[in-house]
Structure 1
Amino acid sequence: MRKVPVLVLSFFILLLFASSCTWSRQPAPANHSPDPTPPQSLFLAVYYVKSTGQESYLVREVHQITPTKDPVLAAVRELISGEPSTPGAMRIFPPDTKVLGVTVKDGLATVNFSREVLEHPSAGAEGEALGIQSVVNTLTEFPEIRQVSFQVEGKVDERTRDWWGHVGLYDQPFRRDLSRVYEPAIWVTHPTPDQVIGVPLLVKGSARVFEGTVNARLLDSQGNVLVSAHTTATRGAPGRGDFEMRLNFKPPQDGKGILEVYSISARDGSVENKVTIPVRWP
């Protein structure tokens, strides 16, 4: 008879213990996804002036910079103070020039320079025209910008309009003009390096090649050709034209490859002006 109360007491003790364990549980922490890793670099196209002694023209370069919230402003600053990588290319703006700001509204970018930008007595008419166009082409790489105008310390007075004393700013706003961009002969704007591509692969860019003929081929990681094609740019050399083509292919399992875009020499049939872009696919 004495065992019953002991059993009952033991039962209640177990219930209390289980109850305390239940109430002491904490809710599992929410499974928050980590913030996406910020990009480690930003690629910007800038245009420099190059002189060969016989002629002057523009060259397009792609520079890698630290990511910024204002890539438009960063592009002009990189053009003014960055280091050209093309042999013979040079910075044409006075070294003390500062970019005070860039505003973009309704497709028009207005660049506000410091007063030092006007201190360029030796550019000449051609250098002045190319210097202006280098800024315009750099900014119109951004799809939201179609025209560019200049200010000096927030205004456009007569001294500002005169600019470097030869061409001036009298015809601003200025529009994009690639007719004096001679190097590189081919550049590709899509896809970008290491981009995850789809099928068909859209290939776009600009070319200054014989008869405007642009070739492309996609290689797998072993160097095997998956697909090749060619198209004709909107203009042939000595002009510069845009090109676009689509490549249909069956993606291999390894998930990565190389896109090559190039022209064929009219002299000996060799590959020239080749652009190599690493790509990936799902």
Structure 2
Amino acid sequence: MSRDEDVLRRILEAEAARVEVSPDALRSIRARTERRPRWFSLGAVALTAATATAAVVGAFALIPRESAPPDPRTASTPSWSSTFSGTSTANLAIYYVGDDQGRQRLYREFHHLPMRDTSTVTKIGTAVTEMLRPESAHDPQYASAWPTGVRVTDVSISGGTVTVNLSKAPPSTIARQELVWTVAAVVGGDPTVKLLVDGSQYATLRKAPALDTLAALWLINPQHGETVARDVSLHVAGAVFEATAHLKVRQGDVVIDERVLTLSIGAPARGEAKLTLTLAPGEYTLEAYTISAADGSVQHLDDHVVTVR
């Protein structure tokens, strides 16, 4: 007998035990039915059947059921927590500030980070927390524009708006953009970021144009400090004149390789270039840069030190 059948049997037995039957009940019932018209007898049978059916249906209604999955249209968004007990991880894009020809611009790194779960809210909270953490950038030439001690106290999502509650206000415009671009890297597109400071509305933010905000050129892969195989996969991105960039590979002061890179598209759009180099084991400095058409000087340099095993 299944669990549901056993529950139903016990419910019906309990109901039956509550009925008190008179000793002359059968004689009284026969006397009443003989005095009433035939249609009533049939109606009584129908009523009795309906009552029994209702009792069974009611009994089934009392049987515990598994909870239905929440409707994503009405389900509440899980709240952010900096603590986690699971083993989830994600490779999250984090934006930092660096110097590009004397101007503060955003550079992107990817950080493999532990999380309590893989929800979008948790990814946003984790990415922003990493962005705020002092000296969290792999490349020492990058840094957070935010002051030390800023905490993420809450994150929520409603439609296309992401609300981030921080313990302190952003100190500059580039700090605001660092936050917005880091959040947008998680959710995609150009979301509206509603910034709260200690629970109070502070500002509503959107991404500024990439040409005015992002570094003109950067090395996406390999990242600074990474250990890689001998076949090194390089990935460069940027918005540069005539889609032309340069790559130099140095070992100490010795130039191992030097070549021109043609990105997929030129400025003002951001293009990309990918290639594979085979290097002997050792430590190398990879430099991506452009050359000024006016004076031949190196511009928009982004360099990473990597180890080939």
1:190 corresponds to: 221
What's the secondary structure of 2:211's corresponding residue?
coil
For residue 188 of structure 1, what is the amino acid of its counterpart?
L
The separation in 2 between residues aligned to 1:46 and 1:245, in whole angstroms, is 23
- Structure 1-normalised TM-score? 0.50
**Higher gyration radius (CA):** 2
Report the 3-state secondary structure (helix = DSSP H, G, I; strand = E; otherwise coil) of the residue aligned with 2:181: helix
Where structure 2 has 5 or more consecutive residues not aligned to the other structure, the ranges are 1-91, 116-121
Q: What displacement does 1:79 show?
A: 5.5
Distance in 1 between the 2:237 and 2:219 partners?
A: 7
Tell me: CA distance 1:219–1:63, structure 2 relative to 1, closer, same or farther (3 Å). closer
1:180 — aligned with what? Answer: 212
Structure 1: segments with no counterpart, 5+ residues: 1-41, 154-158
Task: Give the Cα separation in 2 of the matches to 1:101 and 1:256.
Answer: 42
Q: Is the 8 A contact 2:245 2:261 kept in 1?
A: yes
**Match in the other structure for 1:276:** 303
Say whether residues 1:102 and 2:158 are aligned partners. Answer: no
The 1:247–1:68 alpha-carbon spacing in structure 2 relative to 1, beyond 3 Å, is: closer
Instruction: Kindly indicate whether residue 284 of structure 2 is the aligned counterpart of residue 263 of structure 1.
Output: no
One-letter identity of the residue aligned with 2:292: S
Q: How far apart are the structure 1 equivalents of 2:155 and 2:259?
A: 42
What is the alpha-carbon distance in structure 1 between the residues aligned to residue 107 and residue 288 of structure 2? 17
Q: Report the CA distance between 1:75 and its aligned residue.
A: 3.9
Q: 1:148 aligns with which of 184, 191, 208?
A: 191
Identify the residue that residue 240 of structure 2 maps to in structure 1. 209
> Sequence identity, in percent?
16
The amino acid across from 2:182 in the alignment is T
SS in 2 for 1:280: strand
**Does the Cα contact within 8 Å between 1:100 and 1:113 map onto a contact in 2?**
yes
Give the direction of change, closer, same or farther, for the CA distance of 1:109–1:208 in structure 2 (3 Å limit): same
Aligned to 2:255: 224
SS of residue matched to 2:182: helix
* Alpha-carbon RMSD: 5.1
Deviations 1:235-280 (A, max 9, x none): 32xx35132220333x32x433221111111112232222221122
Q: Cα 1:223–1:131, aligned 2, differ >3 Å: closer, same or farther?
A: closer
Cross-structure match for 2:183: 139
| Higher helix fraction (1 or 2) | 2
Answer yes or no: is the 8 Å Cα contact 2:97–2:145 preserved in 1: no
Q: TM-score, normalised by structure 2?
A: 0.47
Using the TM superposition, give the Cα deviation of residue 98 of structure 1 relative to its aligned residue in structure 2, in angstroms: 5.6
> How much has 1:148 moved relative to structure 2?
3.4
